[in-house]
Structure formats: C-alpha cells, structure tokens
Structure 1
Amino acid sequence: MKLLLLAVLLSISADWRAFGGSHPKPACRYPPSQWCRSLEIAIECKVQKQCMELRAIRANETVPPVSITLYYETLCPDCRVFIAQQLFPTWLMLQDIMSVTLVPYGNAKEVPSANSPFTCQHGEPECRGNMIEACIIHFTGNSLAFHIIYCMESSVDVLGAAQPCLQLYAPSVSWSSVDACVKGDLGYRLMQANAAMTRALNPAHTHVPWVTFNGEYTEENEDKASSSLFHLVCELYKGVKPPACNGAPVKLSRGLCKMQ
C-alpha cells in the first residue's frame, strides 16, 4: 500500500508541477493523467502548450521501451494484487520507458457454460469481467484502459465498479456500447483473440498473473516482477535511466492463481 500511495502522490505532484501549479477550467472533463492524451483533450483543458513542452523532455524515443504483457483473469486475487500494488504504480512512474499490454483471459477455457461460451476459474462473473475489460481495452486503447481496469481491480466489487470507473476515466465512451460489446459478437471475438494469445505462450502458462518482458517469459523475471517490478523495469531499460530509477527497490510478497 505504501508503494501505491507513493505512486499516486508522485503522479498528482508531477501533474501539478508540469502544468504550472494550476488546474484547468471546470469545463475540462478529464483527470490530470489524461490531459496530454490527445490534442483535443489538451485544447479542452487549456494545457496544449504544457503538453508540447512535456513531450519535448520525455525519455529518448530511439530506445524502445520495456514491453510488458500481463496475462490475467479479472477475479484472481493475486492478479488484482499484482495490478494494484506492482504494475499500475510502476507504470504511473515509469510510463515513458515501459509499455503495458493487458490480456484478460487467464485460466479460462473455451468450453461453453450455461451463460457463456467460456468457462472461467472463478465462475461466470469472471467470464463477464474478462469480457468487460476486453471491450474497454478495445474502445479506449491500452493506456486509458489501464486506468479504468486498475480502478476496477482495486475496488471491492470488480464488476460493480466497471461502469463508474469507465465514466470517471473515459466519459466519452458510453456504458451501453461496452454492454453491447459484452453481449454481442464483438466481445466473443475479442475473447477468442485473447484465448489465442494465451494458448500461444511458450512456455505455456501454468498460473496467473503470467508476465512476459519484451515477448519473453523467464521465472527469474517473474520472481523479480512479483516482488519489485519497478526495480526490474529500470534494470531492463537500455536507455538513459529516468531520475525515478535512482531510488531503492521496494519488495512485496507474491501470489499466484494456479491452473486447476
């Protein structure tokens, strides 16, 4: 929790300093983390000049970021802990040198159940949660979707938080479009794609969270990611390390949802 709190405080502080210590006019519907997401948002929030300046001092773009892909399932307790305590806080502080791809599927199987074309380890609610998050990623893109999914996964009620989290971070995306995706052919096709990605893992996954770095999986990196992802990303990045990487690593306990 200390790492999560630090990440949130650093993010808020960075936004505040970067934009001259003043918030946008009330007409801006977006949180500070989204002000530079697009030119349209920057103009609406009256921060286009500051966004242009920020992009001019970002990490060296000739060096590829550390690419992280998380294979997970929405109601796995250990996946939720990893997202909330490791992946999202690390991404908040190091997003200029890392990219994150989320693949909600995990230990599910393409075996039809009573209410779903899939069978999930934590039951029908998890199948729906996986599809909700897949649809949110489809409509909003990985970066914005990550805020929404973190909001969901760190809530007491993951599925119940989906609609308010979507409205908070992506007010231009209607819940009805996500719901239609979940209930229709699009959601099914998105989950089939996630199933195919998960099946293609080499080595095959045996538990979730399952994390690959630059497309590769090693037990050593997974152990490091589960206890101190922030330190590992700094270690793997080949460019000039950002100032945040100069801090000492913080290690947390790990957990896994093993396949049944």
Structure 2
Amino acid sequence: MFNMKLLGFAVFLILCAERRSFGSHPKPSCRYPPSQWCRSLEIAIACKVQKQCMEVNATRPNQSVPPVSITLYYESLCPACRVFITEQLFPTWTMLRDIMTVTLVPYGNAKELLSANSPFTCQHGEPECRGNLIEACIIHLTGHSAFQIIYCMESSTDVLNAAKPCLQLYAPSVSWSSVDSCVKRGQGNQLMHANAAMTRALSPAHTHVPWVTFNGEYTEENEDKGMSSLFQLVCQLYKGVKPPVCTGATVRLNRGFC
C-alpha cells in the first residue's frame, strides 16, 4: 500500500523519467497515480515498480492485527472540517494507511426534510448540500480512490468546482457523467439518507463537526488529541507492532539511482 516509502520512490521515479525525457529513451507509460502502484501486480508491472512494491510489502505491519478505524462525520464546506481533513487526517492516512482505515460521512449538521424537491437543508446553504451530495456519490463510486479525491476537493479554493478535475486525476476510469447521474437522480439522495441515519445513530449524539470516532467510539480526550496530533494518536491506538514511521526506526532498502 501507499506510504512514505512509496511516496519517496514515486518522486524518485518521476525525477528519473524527467531526466530520460532529455535523451533518446521515451518516458515509461503509466496511467495510474502513485497511490495505486502497489495495489496489484498488474499495476506494479505496468508502472515498472515491482521491486519497490516488494520492499514496501516486506515492511508492512502484521495484517492479523485490526487497523485503527477512524470515521469522520463532516460537512463539505465546513471550514473546521476542511482544516482537519487537509492538515491532520489525510497526511496521517498517507503515512499510516497500513494500520488505519478511514470512513467519510458527509452530512454533519444537515437536516433531512419531507420534501421531494429539496430533501435536505445544510448549515452553510445549498452549495454545501450539493457538495455533500457530490462527495457521497464519489465515495460510493470510486472506492479506494475516494479519500484522495475528497482531499483534493477540500484542499482546493473552490470545493465544488474542483470535483471534476480531482475525479479525473485520481479515478480516471470513473466518468464524471456517472457522478452527475448519481447527484441528479435518486441514488444520491439515498446515499445522503444513509449518511443522515448514521449521523443520527451516533451515541453520544454529535454536537459539532468535525466529529471523529475511533474504533467506533467517541471520547473528548481522543478528539482533543486527534485535532492536534492525529498521527501520534493513531500510532498510540494501534495494538500491533508499531511500523517504523511510528517509532522513528531507520529502514534500509536496496535502491538504485538515476
């Protein structure tokens, strides 16, 4: 899976490719983003990173130990939610995704109405309702790429207008028309209804967003820790052998150079 080691050799390969472009050899063809390079043997071969993926897999934590499960209840245009996603949650997941899982539930402080034309009302107005709907559809349609797309949107100046290019960047096989169809037809509202039900079922009931549960539970102590240093909290909560990135241990890998 993608972690800091994979990020390192991603940069390494990109630099190599740029250098080769000035010579007689063409750039290697790879239509997958770096986050997917080790997702399957076929992708690793296509992107010529089999050796690096084997090295990454060799240092992966014991998969028999359950990962730390984080669920974020949020709103697409909530400033505090955007800061948490971009400054805490996504960077931590990038480094620790071998020992943690992330579930995103866009809904937050919205309200479900008994109206066919406008079934939801949102704290930050209609644009936020549309943003929640778009993100719910993207999460449903893109699977493993969803978090990267949501991060791309939430870190952009204009969350809604960033949706299409972010989708094309991280999930090129998913067409924007499929997302648009989900948003405009009944499927999107069904997804939002499910998110509303999940949010209403929280115990204790949420009083603000971002609202974060760890392994299905909410505590003020974990919330305070997570908002200031989520990386340290995930390392602390993980019950297995800590990965090197948590302990600061040096891992020597056999690498080539350009």
- The TM-score with structure 1 as length reference comes to 0.84
Q: Structure 1: any 5+ residue segments left out of the alignment?
A: 1-7, 248-260
Alignment of 1:1-260 (within 5 A): 12-16=7-11, 25-48=27-50, 50-111=52-113, 116-141=118-143, 143-246=144-247
1:119–1:78 Cα change, 3 Å: same
**Identity between Structure 1 and Structure 2 (%):** 77
In structure 1, how many angstroms separate the alpha carbons of the residues matched to 2:95 and 2:16?
Answer: 21
Instruction: Give 1:145 deviation, angstroms.
Output: 0.5
Code of the aligned partner of 1:38: S
1:221–1:14 Cα change, 3 Å: farther
Code of the aligned partner of 1:12: L
In structure 1, how many angstroms separate the alpha carbons of the residues matched to 2:61 and 2:91?
Answer: 18
Q: More deviation in 31-40 or 221-230?
A: 31-40
Q: What do the CA deviations read for 1:50-109 (whole angstroms, capped 9, x no partner)?
A: 434433431111111100000000000000000000000000011111110000111001
Give me the CA root mean square deviation.
Answer: 2.4
- The TM-score with structure 2 as length reference comes to 0.85
The answer to whether the 8 A contact 2:4-2:94 is kept is: no
For the residue of structure 1 that corresponds to 2:105, the secondary structure is strand
Code of the aligned partner of 1:206: T
Counting matched residue pairs gives 238
1:106–1:11 Cα change, 3 Å: farther
In structure 2, how many angstroms separate the alpha carbons of the residues matched to 1:82 and 1:115?
Answer: 32
1:192–1:49 Cα change, 3 Å: same
Of structures 1 and 2, the larger Rg is shown by 2
Code of the aligned partner of 2:196: A
For the residue of structure 1 that corresponds to 2:108, the secondary structure is coil
Code of the aligned partner of 1:208: V
Q: What do the CA deviations read for 1:4-37 (whole angstroms, capped 9, x no partner)?
A: xxxx9876325456x7985695421122122122
The answer to whether the 8 A contact 1:11-1:93 is kept is: no
For the residue of structure 2 that corresponds to 1:28, the secondary structure is coil
In structure 2, how many angstroms separate the alpha carbons of the residues matched to 1:166 and 1:115?
Answer: 27
The answer to whether the 8 A contact 1:118-1:127 is kept is: yes
